[in-house]
């Protein structure tokens, strides 16, 4: 029996399974775990099940001499200092595959909503601005024939490509070794599906946005740090691109007073890509499987990807 901390109550039955085997303490709040609460307890525990909104850094890891496994309740692991964990021999787990469809669906929902101006159209209908059927009103992008650049050819990117092909889009699934600028220049929609790393941080910067077509749409359901948000605000205000849909921002939550919210043709969602009951329950199962395996001294079934070699 080991001691574990869980930084948020999870949907489904998975935590009951964990409680059947180990001593489990769950942060009781509805906001992210307080650092101080975590720091006070982390020295005593062997296992940590944490959220993508928790910063698991070198300071926290070095305050945890007994820690053997960090199980992140997410597919991304950019919130965890993987180097610090590896240096201490602490395994890091994540929850791939089970959220792929949910996230790909949400990506299409955002794409369609931006392409067809759903938020503004809905506002017009509710606010008395629906005067008649408008032959030239609300004209948006037709998906059939449009070129979709999927940046990142992993599970989620591929699943987005599969859906987009069913809509008749010309999908360019971009893994490694492509000319980003050239792809951006010919895309009608650009969708981001790479992990956030030092190499991909602000991949979409001012130059990238300027390389896009003025009619193009940017969708980000990956991580907020992939996009330079100051440049994005200018891009939308000055018409370098036509619209954007973000399920992720930097920081999260994006403060309501952030000037990005003033930009036109922008949808911001509160990081709900994996938010289906099925995905979140299956993620909880995977997170618990990782924790149980790590505490038993076994290889994690769903480990974080290996660290890229330095340099």
Q: How far is the CB of 223 from ligand GLV (least distance, A)?
A: 7
74 binds ligand GLV (CB under 6 A): yes
For ligand GLV, the binding residues in 32-51 under the rule CB under 6 A are: none
| Cα distance between residue 120 and residue 104, in whole Å | 23
Q: Distances in Å between the alpha carbon of 295 and those of 1, 40, 59? A: 9, 21, 22
Q: Of 40, 123, 252, 277, which residue is the catalytic one?
A: 252
DSSP codes of every residue in 199-219: TTTT-B-HHHHHHS-TT-EEE
Comparing CB distances to ligand GLV, the nearer of 154 and 243 is 154
Rg (CA), the chain: 21
Comparing CB distances to ligand GLV, the nearer of 4 and 75 is 75
Q: Does the annotation mark 19 as catalytic?
A: no
Provide the b/e sequence for 112-140 (b: ≥16 CB within 10 Å). Answer: ebbbbbbeebeebeeeeeeeeeeeeeeeb
Among 154, 224, 225, 294, binds ligand GLV (CB under 6 A): 154
Report whether 248 contacts 221 (CB < 8 A): yes
| Piece in contact with ligand GLV (CB under 6 A), picked from 2-10, 32-40, 71-79, 163-171 | 71-79
Q: Of 22, 94, 117, 223, which residue is the catalytic one?
A: 223
Comparing CB distances to ligand GLV, the nearer of 242 and 283 is 283
Q: How far is the CB of 299 from ligand GLV (least distance, A)?
A: 19
Q: Of 271, 280, 286, 289, which residue is the catalytic one?
A: 271
Q: Distances in Å between the alpha carbon of 96 and those of 10, 52, 199? A: 17, 13, 21
For ligand GLV, the binding residues in 219-278 under the rule CB under 6 A are: 273-274
For ligand GLV, the binding residues in 176-195 under the rule CB under 6 A are: 193
Give the three-class secondary structure for 94.
Answer: coil
Q: Does the annotation mark 22 as catalytic?
A: no
| Cα distance between residue 160 and residue 110, in whole Å | 12
Comparing CB distances to ligand GLV, the nearer of 63 and 153 is 153
Q: How far is the CB of 194 from ligand GLV (least distance, A)?
A: 8
| Piece in contact with ligand GLV (CB under 6 A), picked from 72-80, 141-149, 165-173, 285-293 | 72-80
155 binds ligand GLV (CB under 6 A): yes
| Cα distance between residue 50 and residue 42, in whole Å | 12
| Cα distance between residue 154 and residue 19, in whole Å | 34
Tell me phi and psi for residue 23, to 5 degrees. Answer: -85, 120
Q: How far is the CB of 116 from ligand GLV (least distance, A)?
A: 25
156: nearest Cα among 227, 208, 224, 106: 106
279 binds ligand GLV (CB under 6 A): no
Q: Does the annotation mark 127 as catalytic?
A: no
For ligand GLV, the binding residues in 81-110 under the rule CB under 6 A are: 96, 99-100
146: nearest Cα among 112, 102, 119, 103: 112
Task: Give the footprint of ligand GLV on this chain (CB under 6 A).
Answer: 52, 74-76, 96, 99-100, 154-157, 193, 273-274
Q: Mind telling me the catalytic residues?
A: 223, 252, 271
């Amino acid at each position: 029996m080991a001691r574990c901390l869980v930084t948020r109550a999870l949907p489904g039955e998975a935590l009951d399974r964990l409680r059947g085997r180990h001593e489990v303490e769950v942060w009781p709040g509805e906001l992210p775990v307080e650092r101080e609460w975590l720091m006070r307890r982390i020295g005593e525990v062997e296992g940590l099940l944490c959220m993508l909104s928790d910063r698991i850094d070198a300071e926290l890891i070095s305050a945890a001499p007994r820690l053997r496994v960090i199980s992140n309740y997410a597919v991304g692991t950019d919130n965890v200092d993987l180097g610090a964990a590896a240096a201490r021999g602490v395994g890091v787990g994540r929850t791939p595959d089970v959220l792929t469809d949910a996230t790909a669906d949400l990506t299409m929902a955002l794409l369609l909503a931006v392409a067809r101006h759903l938020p503004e159209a809905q506002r017009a209908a509710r606010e008395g601005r629906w005067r008649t059927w408008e032959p030239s009103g609300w004209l948006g992008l037709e998906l059939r024939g449009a070129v979709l650049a999927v940046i990142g050819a992993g599970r989620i990117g591929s699943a987005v490509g599969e859906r987009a092909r069913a809509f008749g889009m010309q999908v360019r699934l971009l893994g490694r070794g492509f000319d980003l600028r050239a792809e951006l220049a010919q895309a009608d929609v650009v969708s981001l599906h790479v992990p956030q790393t030092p190499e991909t941080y602000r991949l979409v910067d001012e130059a990238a946005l300027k390389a896009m077509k003025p009619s193009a749409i940017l969708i980000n359901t990956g991580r907020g740090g992939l996009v330079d948000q100051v440049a994005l605000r200018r891009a939308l205000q000055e018409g370098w691109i036509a619209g954007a849909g973000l399920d992720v921002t930097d920081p999260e939550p994006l403060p309501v007073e952030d000037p990005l919210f003033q930009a036109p043709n922008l949808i911001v969602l509160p990081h709900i890509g994996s938010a289906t009951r099925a995905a979140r329950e299956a993620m909880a199962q995977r997170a618990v499987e990782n924790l149980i395996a790590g505490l038993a001294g076994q290889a994690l079934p769903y480990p974080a990807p290996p660290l890229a070699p330095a340099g």
